[in-house]
Structure formats: C-alpha cells, structure tokens
Amino acid sequence: MEARLNVFGNPLAMKVLRHVNSAGKVLSDSTLPAATQELVKIRASQINGCGFCTDMHTKDAAKAGETSVRLNLIAAWREATVFTDAERAALELTEQGTRIADAAGGVTDAAWADAAKYYDEDQLVALVSLIALINVYNRVNVMVQQPAGGYEPGMFD
C-alpha cells in the first residue's frame, strides 16, 4: 500500500504538520499523565480506523513501559479491570469527543463531570486538546491512506 499523498515530503504539508506537532509537544509536556495520553491517542485512533496512528502509539506506549495486557484491552476498556477510574473517565471523554458527529448532544455532562473529578483545569485543557489533536492526525492519515506497520519508536524525534 502506498499513501495517496506524501505528507512527509510535501513542503506545505510539512509546514502544517510542524505547527500541529508543536501543539503536540505542548500537550506531551503537560501534567496530564503520559500513560493517559497514550491511551487517549490509541483509543481515538482505533475508533477512527487510523492504522498509522494506532501502530505508532501502541509501539510508543510499549516502549514507555505500558503492558501488553492494557494495550490489548484498550478497545474493550469498559469490561477491563486494568484501567484506573481516571483513565476510564479519559477514555469515555475520548470516545464521546471522537464520535461527536454521531451524538446529537456531543459530550454528555456526565462524561465531563466524571473527567473533572480526576483532572484539574490544566489537565482538562490538555485532555480536550489532545483528543482534538489526535483526531486531526487520524483524519489526515486516513484520508491519504498512510500505510501502517513500519513505525519505529523515535523515528520522528
């Protein structure tokens, strides 16, 4: 499989992605726990069918010490006992925020209140922004059919 568009070789695409990546750096440096950030990126990528991002973030999470059990259960987090209540709240917000077009009311007050129990205001800003940002990456990669499987942790550092 070959991508429809070479976003890594096109000067305009690289300029746009440089700005998107800058926002990602701000979020990765936030106080939102790194493990939660990876769970959010993986779950949104699974929902959006973005193989490239799912590949990238599962490999990055594994390299950072995430267990295979937790990685394998992200898609079934509601039935899994391996996630904290805070992570579960973040995953619910991720699902609702990613599927926003499918829900007439968007993110529910209950999902928001649950997340707000575990995350302070800065962490909520980071969480909301991260959900939005991974959805940007997912949409770009899905639209251009970016192939998955070849990512190596650190290759974009």
Compute the distance between CA of residue 147 and CA of residue 53 in angstroms, rounded to an integer: 10
Compute the distance between CA of residue 123 and CA of residue 117 in angstroms, rounded to an integer: 11
The pLDDT of 120-145, averaged and rounded, is: 98
- Residue 156: the pLDDT is 84
Q: Which CATH architecture has domain 33-144?
A: Up-down Bundle (1.20)
> pLDDT-derived band of residue 154, with 50, 70 and 90 as boundaries?
confident
Q: What angle do CA 59, 139, 100 make, to 5 degrees?
A: 105
- Residue 84: the pLDDT is 98
Residue 100 class from Cβ within 10 Å (0-12 exposed, 13-18 middle, 19+ buried)? middle
> How crowded is the C-beta side of 137, counted as CA atoms within 13 Å?
30
- What would the pLDDT profile of 16-57 be if each residue is shown by its tens digit? 999 999 999 999 999 999 999 999 999 999 999 999 999 999
Which ranges of the chain does DSSP label H, i.e. alpha helix?
11-28, 34-48, 51-63, 68-73, 85-98, 109-118, 121-144
CB-based burial, 135-156: b 16+ in 10 Å, e otherwise:
bebbebbbeeebebeebeeeee
Q: How far apart are the first and last CA of the chain?
A: 25
- Residue 75: the pLDDT is 97
Write down the residue that tokens 């959805």 correspond to.
135
- What would the pLDDT profile of 56-99 be if each residue is shown by its tens digit? 999 999 999 999 999 999 999 999 999 999 999 999 999 999 99
Residues 6 or more apart whose Cβ sits within 8 Å of residue 29: none
DSSP annotation of 63 reads H
**Paired tokens of 81:** 């006992």
Instruction: Indicate whether this model's pTM tops 0.85.
Output: yes
